[in-house]
Structure 1
Amino acid sequence: MVRKWLLQFEWLLRSSTLRLAALLSAIFALGFVVAIFVALTLGQRALEQRVDATLTVLAQGSGVAQTRVDGAGMIRRPVHDLAGLPEPFRRAVERGGGTLDLDDDLMGSDKWRVMVASDNDGRPTMVAVSVEDSADAQELLASILWTTAGIVIALTLAIGVWMGLLAQRRLARINRTLGQLAAGDLSARTVHSQAKDDLDDMSHNLNQTASELERLVSQTRRLSASIAHDLRTPLARLRAQLEMLPEGDGRAAALEEASRLSDIFDTIMRVARIEAGQGREGFEHVSLDELAQDMAETFGPVVEDEGKTLNLEIASSATVQADRAMLVQALANLIQNALVHGGEQITVFVDGYSLGVADNGAGVEPAQFSKIIEPMVRLDAARGTPGSGLGLALVKAVADRHGAKLNLAMHNPHGLRVTLNFTQM
C-alpha cells in the first residue's frame, strides 16, 4: 500500500524542472550559509582585535603605583600575581592570552578576554576584560541571521518548487499531447498559456505540426481509400467479362487474380475506415473469452479442412469496451495468417485483458516484427503464399482504434505469438 502510494510521486524524481529548482535552491542556500558563516567569523575576529587593542592600551597605562586592579569588568595584575583567580586565567597567561569561558561567574561575567602585555615600566602584565555583553550581542546577531537565512531559504525553495511545478504541468501537457499523437490520435492538441515564453512557443509549434500531420495523414487515407473505391468498379467489370469467356485454365487463373485484387482493395478500404474512426461509437461490453470461443467454433472446421488443429486456451477472462465486429475481423485475420504461414497447431488464447493467436510455424525474426505490421509488406519467405501483406496492418489498425497495444513475440518453442493487450477498464 505504501509502495503504491509512493509510486504516485515517482514523477517528482524524474522532473527536470523540479530538479533544477532544487539545485538552484541548494546553491542559493549554500551560498547564504557560507556568507553568514564568513560574516560572523570575520565579525568575531574584528571584535577580538578591537578588544586586544584596548587591552594593550590598558596594560601600557599601568605602572609601579598601579600594578593590580580587580575592578568591575576588568582585571589587571602582574603575571606573577594571579592568586585568587580561577585556573583558566593561569592557563591563558601561559599561552599568551585568549578568550575564557568560566564555569562560574567572576564579577558578574563568565566570559573574559585575556592578554599578556608589557606595562609602561616594561614588566609583563595580565589584563582581562569582560566580553559577555559582546558575546551576547554576537549570539543574538547570529541567531537573527540564521533565523532570517532559514526563512529566506524556505521561501526560495517554496517559490522554486512552485515555479517548477508550473513548468512541469505545462511540460506534462505537451508530453501527454505527444503521447496521444504517438497513439494515433491526430486530433490531440496542447493548450496555450499566456506566458509567451519558450514553452508556449513549443506548444504552438507542436499544435502546428500536429495539424499538418493530421492533414497529410487524412489526405493519404482518403487518397488510398478513393483509389481502392474507384478501382473496384472497373475491376468488377473486368471480372464480369472474364466470367463470359469460355472455360479454361486461363479463365480460372484470371478470375482468381481478379478476386485477389478485389480482396486487397476491400482490405485497404476497411483499414482506412478503421483508422479514420473517432470516439467510441459502436463500442459495447465484449467478453474476451466468449469472443474467443465463438471464433474457435467458427474457424475450427476451416482449420481442420486444411489438416491443422485449432486450440482454445483461456487462462482468465475480462470484459472490455470494444467494437465486436472489429475484434472478430482482427482475430479472423490472425487465424488466416497462422493458417497460411504457421504450423500444424494454431491457438486462440485469452489471458485477462490479453487476446491473441499463436502458432508453431517457422516464426519471424524479432528484427522483422516492426516491418510485418506495415501495409503491403511481405517477407521473402511469404512471397510464395497467397496474401496481400495487409492482414497484420488491419490488426494494428484495430488495436490502435481500441487503445490496445499490439505485441509480437516468438512462440515457445517456435512460431509467432500475436497479442492485443487491452487497457483495464
Structure 2
Amino acid sequence: MSLVGRFVENLRWLKRSSILRLSLLLSAVFAVGMAISVFVALTLGQDALERRVDATLTALAGAAVLETAQATTASMIMRSPDDLDGLPRPFGRAVERGGGTVDLEHDFLRSDIWRVLVSRDSQNTPVMVAVPLEVSSQAQEVLGGILWTTAGLVIVLSLIIGLVTGSMAQRRVQRISATLDQLAAGDLTARTEHHRRKDDLDDIAHQLDHTATELERLVAQTRHLSASIAHDLRTPLARLRAKLEMLPDGAARGAALEEASRLSAIFDTIMRVARIEAQQGRDGFETVALEPFVEELADTFGPVVEDVGKDLKIDVSTPGQVQADRQMLVQAMANLIQNALVHGGSTITLVAQGQSVGVADDGPGVDPAQFDEIVKPMVRLDAARTTEGSGLGLALVRAVSERHGARLEFSAQKPTGLRVILNFAKL
C-alpha cells in the first residue's frame, strides 16, 4: 500500500474509532475548559487591579487639598474636573463617566495607559486623579502570555495523551474485532490471547476467549456426532443392501435397493458437509481460472444434462481467478447443477463473471422470502417435496462458500428461474 493509501486508511480509522473520538472529545472539552479558565482568570485579575488602583486613587484624593496638591507629572495627575487643559481628549471623556481606563494612541508623560478617577479631596472638593498603568499593564500582558503559553502546552499535551490513550484502547478493540471476524469466518481456534484483567476491555477479551472455547467444543461435538451417526449407519445400510440384493428379482426388490441407495447417499452427503465444515486454514487452495473451470464442468455434465432432455449453456463475462479448493468447488457446482436438473426448467446456465461462479435456471424459481431457508440442512420447500432429494445439496454449497469466505447469493431470474452464485470478491 502506498504512503497516500496508508494515510487515507488511517483517516478512515480515525473517523470510525468511537473510543478515539471519545478520547479526543474529552481532551477537547478539557482544552476548552482550560482556555475559558485562563480568560476568566485574566479578566478577573484585570478587574481586581482596577479596583485596587481606584481605592488607591480615592485614598490619595481624600488625603490631599486640591489647591495645594495640583500636579501634572509622569507619576500622577491631580486637577479639578473643570481644568483639563493640556490633557488628551480621552481624559475628558473619562471624567464625564466618573473615571475609567484611558488607552491613548500616543504616550503622554511616558505612558499610554492611565487610570482616571473623579473623587473628593479632604475639603470635599471634586478632584480628578490619574495614575499611569504602564507597568501594571505590562505585567498583566506578561502574566497573560505565561498563562496562555502554559494553557497551550497543557492543551497540546492533553490532546497527545488522549490520542495515545485512545489509540492503545482502539488497538485492543481491533484485536477483539479481528478475533470475531476469524470466528465468523469459521476459524473457531481464534483467540485474543489477552490474559490481563485490568479493565472492562480486558474482561470483554477474556469473556470472548472463553465463549470461543466453549463454542469450539460444542461445534466439534456436534460435527463429530453427526459424522459418527452417518458413519455408524453406513455399515448397517451396506448389510441391508447386501441382503436386498439376495432377494428374488422384482419391483419390490428394485424399490428397496433404490431407497437403500438414497439413504447411503444422504449419509455420504452429511459426512462430506461435516468434513468441509471441520477443515480450517488454506491447505489445498490453489488459483482457479473460472473460464476454463466452467468449460470443464460443461464437458463433464453436458451429457448428463442432455440425457434428461435439457440444455446446458455457458455465460462467461470477464471471468477472473479465485483462490479455492478445486475439489470442493466442483462438489458445490455439481450440487447446483443437480438442483437445477431436479427443480429447474429446460435450460441450465453455468455462470462465470468476474470473481463469481454459479448456476442459473429458467424453472419456477423460489420465493425470495425462502432464500435463507433453502440452505438449511434437511429443509425442503413444499414445492420440492414431490421430487427426490434430501435437502442437503444447498447446505453443502453453503458449507463450501463459508469455507472459502465467499458470499452465497440467491436471486430471481427474469421472467422465471433461480440464480445461485458463489461470489469470491472481497467484501
TM-score by length of 2: 0.95
The SS at the match of 2:170 is helix
The SS at the match of 1:115 is strand
Q: What does the per-residue CA deviation read over 1:123-171, in whole Å, with 9 as the maximum and x for residues that have no partner?
A: 2211110011111111111111111111111111111111111111111
Q: How far apart are residue 218 of structure 1 and its match?
A: 1.0
Equivalent position of 1:130 in the other structure:
132
Equivalent position of 1:390 in the other structure:
392
Out of 239, 261, 284, the residue aligned to residue 263 of structure 2 is 261
Equivalent position of 1:94 in the other structure:
96
Equivalent positions of 1:390-409 (< 5 A) are: 390-409=392-411
Out of 289, 293, 296, the residue aligned to residue 294 of structure 1 is 296
Moved more, 154-163 or 293-302: 293-302
Output the CA distance in 1 between the equivalents of 2:253 and 2:33: 90
Equivalent position of 1:363 in the other structure:
365
- Residue 228 of structure 1 contacts residue 265 of structure 1 at CA under 8 Å; is this kept in 2? yes
Output the CA distance in 2 between the equivalents of 1:370 and 1:9: 37
Q: How far apart are residue 226 of structure 1 and its match?
A: 1.2
Q: How far apart are residue 334 of structure 1 and its match?
A: 0.6
Moved more, 192-201 or 303-312: 192-201
Output the CA distance in 2 between the equivalents of 1:420 and 1:146: 62
Q: 1:275 to 1:293 in 2, by over 3 A?
A: same
Output the CA distance in 2 between the equivalents of 1:14 and 1:163: 16
Equivalent position of 1:281 in the other structure:
283
Out of 58, 68, 71, the residue aligned to residue 70 of structure 2 is 68
Output the CA distance in 2 between the equivalents of 1:64 and 1:24: 59
The SS at the match of 1:184 is coil
For 1:49, give the aligned amino acid.
Answer: R
Output the CA distance in 2 between the equivalents of 1:348 and 1:7: 38
Q: How far apart are residue 415 of structure 1 and its match?
A: 2.2
Q: How far apart are residue 117 of structure 1 and its match?
A: 1.1
Out of 326, 332, 335, the residue aligned to residue 333 of structure 1 is 335
For 1:353, give the aligned amino acid.
Answer: Q
Q: How far apart are residue 386 of structure 1 and its match?
A: 0.9
Q: How far apart are residue 68 of structure 1 and its match?
A: 2.2
- Residue 116 of structure 1 contacts residue 124 of structure 1 at CA under 8 Å; is this kept in 2? yes
- Residue 409 of structure 2 contacts residue 422 of structure 2 at CA under 8 Å; is this kept in 1? yes
2:199 paired with 1:197:
yes
Equivalent positions of 1:48-197 (< 5 A) are: 48-66=50-68, 68-194=70-196, 196-197=198-199
Q: How far apart are residue 284 of structure 1 and its match?
A: 2.0
Moved more, 44-53 or 222-231: 222-231
Output the CA distance in 2 between the equivalents of 1:53 and 1:424: 78
Output the CA distance in 1 between the equivalents of 2:83 and 2:175: 82
For 2:318, give the aligned amino acid.
Answer: S
Equivalent position of 1:271 in the other structure:
273
Out of 218, 226, 229, the residue aligned to residue 220 of structure 2 is 218
- Residue 67 of structure 1 contacts residue 78 of structure 1 at CA under 8 Å; is this kept in 2? no
User: Structure 1: 5+ residue runs without aligned partners?
Assistant: none
- Residue 97 of structure 1 contacts residue 114 of structure 1 at CA under 8 Å; is this kept in 2? yes
For 1:317, give the aligned amino acid.
Answer: P
RMSD, matched Cα = 1.9
Output the CA distance in 2 between the equivalents of 1:341 and 1:150: 73
Superposition misfits of 4+ residues, deviation over 3 angstroms: 1-5
- Residue 320 of structure 1 contacts residue 424 of structure 1 at CA under 8 Å; is this kept in 2? no
Q: How far apart are residue 306 of structure 1 and its match?
A: 2.3
For 2:49, give the aligned amino acid.
Answer: L
User: Structure 2: 5+ residue runs without aligned partners?
Assistant: none
Q: How far apart are residue 411 of structure 1 and its match?
A: 2.6
Output the CA distance in 2 between the equivalents of 1:144 and 1:204: 48
Kindly tell me the number of residue pairs found equivalent between the two proteins. 425
For 1:148, give the aligned amino acid.
Answer: T
Output the CA distance in 2 between the equivalents of 1:286 and 1:106: 91
Output the CA distance in 2 between the equivalents of 1:415 and 1:5: 46
Q: 1:193 to 1:126 in 2, by over 3 A?
A: farther
- Residue 341 of structure 1 contacts residue 382 of structure 1 at CA under 8 Å; is this kept in 2? yes
Q: How far apart are residue 424 of structure 1 and its match?
A: 5.7
Moved more, 61-70 or 176-185: 61-70
Out of 241, 244, 247, the residue aligned to residue 243 of structure 2 is 241
Output the CA distance in 2 between the equivalents of 1:378 and 1:366: 15
Output the CA distance in 1 between the equivalents of 2:137 and 2:415: 83
- Residue 66 of structure 2 contacts residue 78 of structure 2 at CA under 8 Å; is this kept in 1? no
Output the CA distance in 1 between the equivalents of 2:418 and 2:152: 63
Output the CA distance in 1 between the equivalents of 2:182 and 2:268: 28
Q: How far apart are residue 193 of structure 1 and its match?
A: 5.0
Output the CA distance in 1 between the equivalents of 2:10 and 2:333: 36
Output the CA distance in 2 between the equivalents of 1:412 and 1:183: 33
For 2:58, give the aligned amino acid.
Answer: T
Output the CA distance in 2 between the equivalents of 1:194 and 1:204: 8
The SS at the match of 1:370 is coil
For 1:263, give the aligned amino acid.
Answer: A
The SS at the match of 1:371 is coil
Output the CA distance in 1 between the equivalents of 2:96 and 2:426: 83
Equivalent position of 1:322 in the other structure:
324
Q: What does the per-residue CA deviation read over 1:67-111, in whole Å, with 9 as the maximum and x for residues that have no partner?
A: 521112211110111111111111111111111110110111001
Q: How far apart are residue 423 of structure 1 and its match?
A: 4.5
For 2:125, give the aligned amino acid.
Answer: R
Output the CA distance in 2 between the equivalents of 1:344 and 1:398: 27
2:316 paired with 1:307:
no
Q: How far apart are residue 262 of structure 1 and its match?
A: 0.8
Moved more, 146-155 or 121-130: 121-130
Q: 1:347 to 1:135 in 2, by over 3 A?
A: same
